[in-house]
């Protein structure tokens, strides 16, 4: 059961075309029953909507903002400039060296306006969701417990994989 009835995490996308590439962020939040909203808005195409959204986010009860964009990916930085909520940036993969443009545009913020940027592709979007959960867990005992259980399972899974690999290696030697 979610702890709240209104979203705690606001996910903004520079384009609807970003969603298929980053939707693992939502799956991670779902795993912890954290409510979120997803909106398309662009730092370049709809700058005024971005400003309004980020400015009002805290008053609306959102606790963490996640911004995903590709190419000249200024969305996370612009969102961060209009709010004191923590902002997590997801660089979206592009055709330019897998999204190096997005990565650098998102991560290379000037001092004083941080964006916590996750990796481009791979586990990046999932990590954005998990990082949001960890931030929310600072003020939620139940999320702390869920995170502890998650980490425990993770360790067990890795140990099982290691045991399987050791057995396979022993088999190869015979
Ligand atoms: C960025 O431009 C978006 O975040 C997206 O990654 C990219 C392309 O957008 P579309 O042309 O597919 O709408 O602002």
**Mean pLDDT across 85-98:** 98
**pLDDT value at residue 65:** 99
Residue 61: is its pLDDT beyond 90? Answer: yes
**pTM of the entire structure?**
0.95
Whole-number Å distance, alpha carbon 73 to ligand 1 midpoint, is 9
Q: Is 69 exposed, middle or buried (0-12, 13-18, 19+ CB in 10 A)?
A: buried
C-alpha 45, offset from chain centre: 22
Residues in the chain: 174
pLDDT band of residue 1 (cuts 50, 70, 90) is confident
**Mean pLDDT across 61-87:** 98
Atom 13 of ligand 1: nearest residue by CA position: 15
89 lines ligand 1 (CB under 6 A): no
Percent of the chain predicted with pLDDT > 70: 99
**Mean pLDDT across 39-43:** 98
Atom 10 of ligand 1: nearest residue by CA position: 15
69 lines ligand 1 (CB under 6 A): yes
**pLDDT value at residue 110:** 98
Could you tell me if 50 and 58 are in contact, meaning their C-beta atoms sit under 8 angstroms apart?
no
Model pLDDT for residues 105-162, shown as the tens digit of each residue: 999 999 999 999 999 999 999 999 999 999 999 999 999 999 999 999 999 999 999 9
Query: DSSP states of 42-67 as a string?
Result: -TTTSHHHHHHHHHHTTTTT--EEEE
């Amino acid at each position: 059961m979610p702890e709240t009835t209104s979203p705690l995490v606001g996910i903004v996308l520079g384009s609807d075309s970003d969603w298929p590439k980053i939707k693992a962020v939502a799956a991670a939040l779902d795993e912890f029953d954290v409510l979120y909203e997803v909106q398309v808005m662009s730092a370049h195409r709809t700058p005024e909507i971005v400003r309004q959204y980020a400015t009002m986010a805290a008053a609306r009860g959102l606790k963490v903002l996640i911004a995903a964009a590709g190419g000249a990916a200024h969305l996370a930085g612009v969102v961060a400039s209009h709010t004191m909520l923590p902002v997590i940036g997801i660089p979206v993969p592009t055709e330019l060296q897998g999204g190096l443009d997005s990565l650098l545009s998102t991560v290379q913020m000037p001092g004083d306006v941080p964006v916590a940027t996750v990796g481009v592709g791979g586990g990046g979007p999932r990590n954005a969701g998990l990082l949001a959960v960890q931030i929310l867990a600072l003020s939620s005992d139940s999320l702390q417990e869920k995170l502890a259980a998650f980490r425990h399972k993770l360790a067990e899974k890795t140990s099982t994989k290691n045991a399987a690999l050791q057995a396979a290696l022993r088999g190869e030697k015979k």
